[in-house]
Structure 1
Amino acid sequence: MTDESTNEDDWEVLDSVVEYETGWYQGGYDLLEQPDGTQKKYYWAEIQPAVVIVAVADDELVVVEQFRPAIGEHCLELPAGLVEDGESYTTAGARELREETGFDPAGVSLLEEFWVATGVLRHRRGIVFAEGLEPGVPERDTNEFLSVGTVPVSEALERARAEPANDATIEGILLAEHEGLL
């Protein structure tokens, strides 16, 4: 539903400025002329697409626990990672699951792809479901310090909602439950 008095043509980008780059993401602002003729800077951070993996084996959900410096806490999360150039969400999901947990999935399917935090981020996320897991040896990146575990599917949402809860884990579990996969 859009208000006919304001559509995307009413928002002119006058300038786009990248203020910083980290190699992992970049941030800046767009100077826009708003529909009423005023100008405003809209700040953003741009991150390459990421994938979150809902992986199930024998009524157990595969999870990882890791310290998140941004909030200063250990978090129980679904395995996740960045999508590399040329990868689909399903290919990236299978790769990230193998790298982080050692599990090799027989099948991976895309549950959903969407924009994240549209008020400030230029970032897309895909949620994938992985099944038919064969155990193997993780091949973690040098900056990945995490432990792998499982939680019973019947307790997954309750555990995901416990502080410090995070959006990607809750979203993944809810989407998989909605699709009848959990």
Structure 2
Amino acid sequence: MSEGEAKVLSTEPLVKTEAVWTKLVKTIWRDPKGITRTWESAERRTRPKCSDIDGVGIVAILEKQTGPEIVLQKQYRPPLDKIVIELPAGLVDEGETAEEAAIRELKEETGYVAEVLETSPVMWNDPGFCNTNLKMVHVSVDMSLPANQDLKPELEENEFIEVFHIRLANLWEECIQLEAEGYAIDARIANIAEGIEIAKKYKL
């Protein structure tokens, strides 16, 4: 996947009646000193009514003889006009748990069949700008299963995803190298990489 294969053609203000995914909000609030202020933010329109989250991020680790590897994706993102290095992720459907969404999204985007290990608390992506949130779901991928030998992703017509793996031990260095090559690094994978480096430094 190269950057030249997809590109932004133009940008323009989004008319409110055309907005499917988001809406802009002006909030009037009072600060701790009693001063009334305003705050501009964005909200998702897609959160299921019975859910406390918008979506999930998926941490899938493959046990290899050379060491554990994390499943990552390359996906073009128009807001950045760049290909972004990301974890598998997706929105939660109506009536679906975070764990169910993670198993479904991983299969659809990568082809891997997995089982849930654990789920994080609710995480807020950019609370100064929007109300979007998610849970990180850690899954186990049994590489002995036939389905995980012959991967068959089920991408939607508008999804263009390239799946690859990086050794956990080299994740920080690989992120630096990928950024130097022109890719954007999603904060979720960068945070995992930085956490690994902190754990190494302090021998945790």
Superposition TM-score, scaled by structure 2 size? 0.68
Gaps of 5+ in 2: 1-14, 48-53, 200-204
Report the identity percentage: 27
Contact 1:98–1:104 under 8 Å retained in 2: yes
Contact 1:77–1:160 under 8 Å retained in 2: no
**Corresponding residue for 2:155?**
140
The one-letter code of the counterpart of 1:39 is T
1:107 aligns with 2:116: yes
> C-alpha offsets along residues 79-127 of structure 1, whole Å, 9 cap, x if unaligned?
1111222222221111110010010103342134222211111121211
**Corresponding residue for 1:150?**
165
More helix by share: 2
1:129 aligns with 2:138: yes
Question: Aligned partners of 2:122, 2:198: CA distance in 1, in Å?
Answer: 15
User: What is the aligned length?
Assistant: 161
1:83 aligns with 2:92: yes
Contact 1:115–1:125 under 8 Å retained in 2: yes
1:23 aligns with 2:20: yes
**Corresponding residue for 1:170?**
190
> C-alpha offsets along residues 26-59 of structure 1, whole Å, 9 cap, x if unaligned?
2211122445454322111113412111111122
Contact 1:64–1:146 under 8 Å retained in 2: yes
Superposition TM-score, scaled by structure 1 size? 0.75
What is the deviation of 1:178? 8.8
